[in-house]
């Protein structure tokens, strides 16, 4: 059986085809341009490929509610050309196969729970820290949507006492994303994030904010594993700093072995690496 994946990112689209076990048979990637230009490339890729279903994981905000009139839309995004765009409607019209639709981060959470570092777990959290910050949540084996879908990047965090940076979020200025996204780091310090040395103060600030967010998520949804992906998390020195801050903030309040004994296996990088998004979409397609 052949399954298709469409990872619709704000910067690039990735399309792929796998078998039912997630073995990748084909994969392409191209920059996100206007919907017309971008989707034409998607159609060309899937032409005559005979996939049985396609999973679509998209940048947001999106409408993932099948009972809603705007199901399948990318809704109010600041991204030029894509606001209120009927993504699933257009894809369906041209590709005519069953499609599953969710946020890119929910797809990544499901992919990691199916084939990756959270394999076999029914409760996990996938957080990406890149151009923006967003999270996907699996609870009791189900992806969380609720009223819309979680927007975990925009929670409020306490400021680092030495941080005077105003914040980058166009809606809230110094929410978590406003203080800790890749672009926030770069504006605060005036250099590319990958140019900062491992010992730079930037990472102390970064771990301080990420740990607070994780503590809030741990206390609210009690995930069995927390997976941190996205460009900023390529700075692997952040992991021990984040784990230490999480333990200090929780202060022995949550008495689980995951936190007290095995935190190195609790807060972890993704296992599926650059294929996390693609395989997440395949995992979505399998749910159909």
Residues that bind Zn ion (CB under 5 A): 154, 169, 171-172, 175, 177
Q: Kindly state the smallest distance separating residue 249's Cβ from ligand ADP, in Å.
A: 23
Phi, psi of 230, deg, nearest 5: 95, 165
**Shortest spacing between CB 184 and ligand ADP, in angstroms:** 8
Task: Kindly state the smallest distance separating residue 28's Cβ from ligand ADP, in Å.
Answer: 17
235 forms part of the interface with ligand ADP (CB under 6 A): yes
169 binds, among Zn ion, ligand ADP, none (CB under 5 to 8 A by kind): Zn ion
CA pair distance 21, 41, nearest whole angstrom: 25
Neighbouring residues of 109: CB distance < 8 A, sequence distance ≥ 6: 118, 124, 125, 126, 135, 136, 137, 138, 143, 227, 280
Choose the one of ligand ADP, Zn ion, none that binds residue 154, judging by a C-beta under 5 to 8 angstroms depending on kind: Zn ion
Residues 208/161, Cβ–Cβ less than 8 Å = no
- In the numeric block, the tokens 């396609």 are attached to 54
**154 versus 234: smaller Cβ distance to ligand ADP:** 234
Residue 201: contacted member of ligand ADP, Zn ion, none (CB under 5 to 8 Å, by partner type): none
Which of 135, 230, 270, 280 is close enough to bind ligand ADP by CB under 6 A? 230
Nearest distance from C-beta of residue 141 to ligand ADP, angstroms:
26
Whose tokens are 């801050």? That residue is 245
Cis peptide before 61 (omega within 30 of 0): yes
- How do 3-8 and 53-58 pair as beta strands? parallel
For ligand ADP, the binding residue among 186, 204, 224, 258 (CB under 6 A) is 186
Cβ at position 212, least distance to Zn ion in Å = 15
Region binding ligand ADP by CB under 6 A among candidate stretches 5-13, 24-32, 85-93, 211-219: 5-13
Among 55, 60, 182, 270, binds ligand ADP (CB under 6 A): 182
User: Over 101-153, what HEC string results?
Assistant: EEEHHHHHHHHHHHHCCCCCCCCEEEEEECCCEEEEEEECCEECCCCCCCCHH
Residue 9 touching ligand ADP (CB under 6 A): yes
Q: If we measure between CA atoms, which residue out of 119, 141, 142 comes closest to residue 268?
A: 119
Which helix (H) or strand (E) segment holds residue 29: the answer is strand 24-31
Q: Which residues bind ligand ADP (CB under 6 A)?
A: 9-11, 128, 130-132, 182-183, 186, 193-194, 230-232, 234-235
């Amino acid at each position: 059986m052949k399954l298709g994946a469409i990872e619709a990112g704000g910067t690039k689209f990735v399309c792929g085809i796998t078998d039912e076990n997630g073995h990748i048979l084909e994969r392409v990637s191209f920059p996100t341009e206007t919907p017309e230009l971008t989707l034409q490339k998607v159609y060309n890729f899937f032409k005559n490929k005979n996939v049985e279903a396609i999973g679509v994981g998209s940048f947001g905000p999106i409408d993932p509610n099948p009972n809603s009139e705007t199901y399948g839309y990318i809704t109010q995004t600041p991204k030029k050309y894509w606001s209120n765009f009927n993504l699933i409607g257009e894809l369906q019209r041209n590709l005519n196969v069953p499609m599953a639709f969710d946020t890119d981060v929910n797809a990544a959470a499901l992919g990691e729970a199916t084939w990756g570092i959270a394999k076999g777990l029914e409760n996990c959290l996938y957080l990406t820290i890149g151009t923006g910050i967003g999270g996907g949540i699996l609870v009791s084996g189900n992806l969380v949507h609720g009223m819309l879908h979680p927007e975990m990047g925009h929670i409020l965090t306490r400021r680092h006492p030495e941080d005077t940076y105003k914040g980058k979020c166009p809606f809230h200025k110094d929410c978590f994303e406003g203080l800790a996204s890749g672009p926030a780091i770069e504006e605060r310090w005036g250099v590319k994030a990958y140019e900062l040395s491992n010992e730079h103060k930037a990472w102390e600030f970064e771990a301080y904010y990420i740990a607070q967010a994780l503590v809030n998520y741990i206390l609210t949804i009690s995930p069995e594993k927390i997976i941190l992906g996205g460009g900023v998390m390529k700075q692997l020195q952040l992991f021990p700093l984040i784990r230490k801050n999480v333990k200090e903030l929780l202060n022995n309040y949550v008495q689980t072995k995951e936190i007290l004994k095995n935190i190195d296996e609790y807060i972890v990088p993704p296992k599926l690496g650059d294929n996390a998004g693609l395989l997440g979409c395949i995992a979505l397609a399998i749910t159909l």
